[in-house]
Amino acid sequence: FDVHGAPIVGNDGQLKGMVLVFHDITELKKLEQARKDFVANVSHELKTPVTSLKGFTETLLDGAMHDEALREKFLTIIAKESVRLEELIGDLLELSRIEGEHFELNWEEVNLQELTSEVSLMLSEKARAKKMEIHTKSEGDVTIPADASRLKQVMINLINNAIVYSPEGGEIFVRLKGQEENVVMEVTDTGIGISKKEIPRIFERFYRVDRARSRNSGGTGLGLAIVKHLAEAHHAKLSVDSKPGRGTTFRMVFLRKPFGDEK
C-alpha cells in the first residue's frame, strides 16, 4: 500500500484530525516489474545475434576471409543471424503495433479454407524437410468477418510451431468447422506436447518451455504472444489441449457476429 496523509487543522490552529489515503499499488508494481522484465528480455534477445555478427565479422577481417572455406562458413552464419535479428525486430514491432492504442483490424469477409491452403503452401517446404504433411479438413461455411493478413499471421505462427515442435515424420491437421453461431479452427500436431503446468505461460512474451531447443529452432519467443493478442482483437476464444509426448491442439472459436447485433 502507498499511504498519503494530510492533517485537518481547525480555525483556531488546533489539529482536528488526519485524512489518510491508502492506495493499492500491487497492480502497479506488477506492471512495472513486467515492463522491466520485458526490457531485460528484449535486450538479451537482441544482444545474442549482434554479438555473433560482431564476432564473425571481426574474425573475417582479422584474416579468416582469405580462407575460402572459412569465409563461406562465416558469411553463412552472418546471413542466418541477420535474418534472425530481422525476424525478432519484425515480431517486436508487430507486437507493439497490436498492443498500441490505435490498433484496429481491417475487417473483411475471410474464407478460412482459402487462407489455410495459402499458409499450407507457404510452409509445405519446411514441413517436407521434416517429412511432415499438413492435412486440411473443412466442413460447413467457414467464411468469417476477420482481418485476412492478421489471421494469416496467426495461422503461420500456429502451423510453424506445429512443424518446429514435432519430430520428423509427424502429422499436422488443420480442421475447420462452420457452425451456426461460430466457426472453429483447430491446428493439431503429433509433436512433443506441452505439460499442463506450462500451458498458461506459453502465451507470455519470450516464454519458452525449453529455451535452448526453441532458440536453436529459430523462434523469437513472441509467436504465441502475437497469436493471443490477435485472437482477442478478433473476439475469438483461444484454447490449448496437449498431451506431453503425444501432441497439441490449438483451438480458436470465431463468432459469426463478433460485434454483437450492430453488424
Instruction: Determine the size of the site formed for ligand ADP (CB under 6 A).
Output: 23
- Number of neighbours of residue 246 by Cβ within 10 angstroms: 11
186 binds ligand ADP (CB under 6 A): no
Site for ligand ADP in 21-60 (CB under 6 A): none
Note whether 222 and 92 are within 8 A (CB): yes
DSSP secondary structure of 205-227: TT--SSHHHHHHTT--S-HHHHH
223 binds ligand ADP (CB under 6 A): yes
Positive or negative: CA dihedral 204, 251, 164, 114: negative
Question: Of the candidates 167, 176, 185, which has an alpha carbon nearest to the alpha carbon of residue 247?
Answer: 167
Note whether 192 and 172 are within 8 A (CB): no
221 binds ligand ADP (CB under 6 A): yes
Residue nearest to ligand ADP (CB): 219
Phi, psi of 184, deg, nearest 5: -105, 135
Binding-site member from 56, 74, 165, 254 for ligand ADP (CB under 6 A): 165
Q: What angle do CA 109, 235, 99 make, to 5 degrees?
A: 105
Q: Which is nearer to ligand ADP, 61 or 212 (CB)?
A: 212
Q: Shortest approach of ligand ADP to residue 262 CB, angstroms?
A: 34
220 binds ligand ADP (CB under 6 A): yes
202 binds ligand ADP (CB under 6 A): yes
209 binds ligand ADP (CB under 6 A): yes
| Distance of alpha carbon 54 from alpha carbon 52, whole angstroms | 5
Binding-site member from 208, 229, 238, 252 for ligand ADP (CB under 6 A): 208
Q: Shortest approach of ligand ADP to residue 218 CB, angstroms?
A: 8
Binding-site member from 191, 231, 252, 254 for ligand ADP (CB under 6 A): 191
Which residues, in sequence order, are CB contacts of 132 under 8 Å at separation 6+? 163, 166, 168, 169, 170, 171, 172
Q: Shortest approach of ligand ADP to residue 87 CB, angstroms?
A: 9
- By CB under 6 A, name the binding residues for ligand ADP: 157, 161-162, 165, 189, 191-194, 202, 207-210, 214, 219-225, 248
